[in-house]
Amino acid sequence: MLIVLIVLLQYRLWYGDAGYQQIQRYQQQLDQLQQQLAIKQLRNKALEAEVLDLRKGKEAIEETARHDLGLIKQDETFFQVIE
């Protein structure tokens, strides 16, 4: 009887709802989520720095407009180099 009880407890330990295999799967999911979180935190920091730059002065706004919209100031000449 004692051996059967030990076998049942071992089965629950390794294969049950909160068994070793399930804990390993949860740990893998947690590791993946932590990696995704770290990537998103880096992205958020970069976006926050960009927002602060845009709030500070016109240089950042002008740089963004030049890069994204092709802004040309008055009395400037635009040259497009095609390779």
Is 80 part of any domain?
no
Distance CA 64, CA 7 (A): 67
Domain region containing 57: 23-65
Q: How many domains does the structure of the chain reveal?
A: 1
**Does any domain span residue 3?**
no
Please check whether residue 15 lies inside any domain of the structure.
no
Match 């992205």 to its residue by tokens.
43
In a domain, 5, yes or no: no
What is the per-residue pLDDT for 39? 98
pLDDT tens, position by position, for the chain (83 residues)? 888 888 887 777 777 777 777 888 899 999 999 999 999 999 999 999 888 877 887 777 777 777 777 777 777 777 778 88
Q: What are the phi and psi torsion angles at 41 (to 5°)?
A: -65, -40
At residue 32, the pLDDT reads: 98
In-domain check, residue 4: no
